[in-house]
Structure 1
Amino acid sequence: MGKLKKGFIQIYTGDGKGKTTAALGLALRAAGNNYRVCMVQFLKTSRTGEIESAKKLEGNFKIYRFEKKKGFFWTLNDCEKEELKKEVKKVYEFCLKALENNTCDILIMDEVMAILSNRLLSVEEIIKLIDKKPDNMELILTGRNVPEEILQKADLVTEMKNIKHYMDKGILAREGIEY
């Protein structure tokens, strides 16, 4: 049984940097207050600092990845996309079980909107997940281009807006900052 009396649905979206970082900040705060946090990361397979940090939080914060290492979605061939779709279905089933069994206080679905954009899951499937959220669990969804039907289900929506970014000058993602 979770500690939250009332959990909400939060969305971090927009074209700016910080969606995953905001979710991780909330996870860090919650784990420090002894909440059980589960984060599933879609379309992320490379080593990142958050994976290493979560290991150090003594069991209150776990990050799950189900996908095998691949390139970016747009670089995959049809066979690789089909394999990815099967892996995404496993993540979906994991999330459904977490919601049905109330196995965490906070469930973060990082880059789930990219899964929708790439048609690896449907809007209806994500709404089904949202509708299964127990009252005492917080659900956090991240990613760009949130469909209107999902926005309507949210209690909080924060848009990260890109005003200026050093990547526009050719600066690549930096270890410890972007990953």
Structure 2
Amino acid sequence: MELKQGLVQVYTGSGKGKTTAALGQAFRAAGNGLKVYMVQFLKSGTTGELTSVKKMSPDFQIFRFEKPAGFFYTLSDEEKAQLKKEIEKAFEFCKDVIKKQECDVLILDEIMGVLGNKLLNVEEVLEFIKSKPEKMELIMTGRNVPDEIAAAADLVTEMREIKHYYSKGIPARKGIEF
């Protein structure tokens, strides 16, 4: 199968479900014979999707370039500098994927967090969007999508928290949040 038209989707907002929505789209695409790459930014811990993808579909691959680290705000300046290098390497990989048209669907998971932490800038990501092949779908996730990126997207879905069990003191659960 080949996409006739690839669009730009953004899943954003303060609510739970951005990565989950992107993963659902990825499994749907892979199930229809499309090749899917997901590059996960600011995620270095073990998650269920890494295991599931390996078991379920040879048409769907997840890539990570970061060494295990804590949350960005907990890192030292030296650790932040190292993370920035890893992010830049991952983004170069994404540019190469687009240039070589290696997949049908490319997901940049948590790219908005990268922008929010100033590890890349909005102009770089806008240029990236413009360079996307016509028949490639691009999906980006993360809180606080910049207005310029929202304007460049074809679809922006906001996950808005109405109620969350974290407020009851329930921590992130293996198999549900990671």
TM-based fold match above 0.5: yes
Identify the residue that residue 103 of structure 1 maps to in structure 2. Answer: 102
Matches within 5 A, 1:45-64: 45-64=44-63
Q: Which runs of 5+ in 2 are unaligned?
A: none
Which residue is 1:135 aligned to?
Answer: 134
Tell me if the contact between 1:31 and 1:57 (Cα under 8 Å) persists in the aligned partners.
no
Matched, 1:91 2:123: no
TM-score of the two chains, using structure 2 as the length reference: 0.98
Q: Which residue of 1 aligns with 2:120?
A: 121
Deviation at residue 58 of structure 1 after TM alignment: 3.6
1:68-105 Cα distance to aligned partner (Å, 9 max, x none): 00000000000000000000000110000111111000
SS at match of 2:10: strand
Matched AA of 2:177: E
Q: How many residues align?
A: 178
Please report the RMSD computed on the Cα atoms of aligned residues, expressed in angstroms: 0.8
Moved over 6 A (4+): none
Equivalent residue letter for 2:73:
W
Task: Point out where structure 1 has 5 or more consecutive residues left out of the alignment.
Answer: none
Given that residues 30 and 57 in structure 2 are in contact (C-alpha distance below 8 angstroms), is that contact kept between their aligned partners in structure 1?
no
Paired position in structure 1 for 2:145: 146
CA distance in 1, matches of 2:31, 2:141: 22
Q: CA deviation at 1:130?
A: 0.3
Q: TM-score, normalised by structure 1?
A: 0.98
Are the equivalent residues in 1 in contact too, given 2:98–2:131 (CA < 8 A)?
A: yes
Give distance in 2, aligned partners of 1:97 and 1:59: 20
Please state if 1:38 is matched with 2:60: no
Q: For 1:120-175, what per-residue CA distance to the aligned partner results, in whole angstroms no more than 9, with x for missing partners?
A: 00001101110110000000000011111101100000000000000111111111
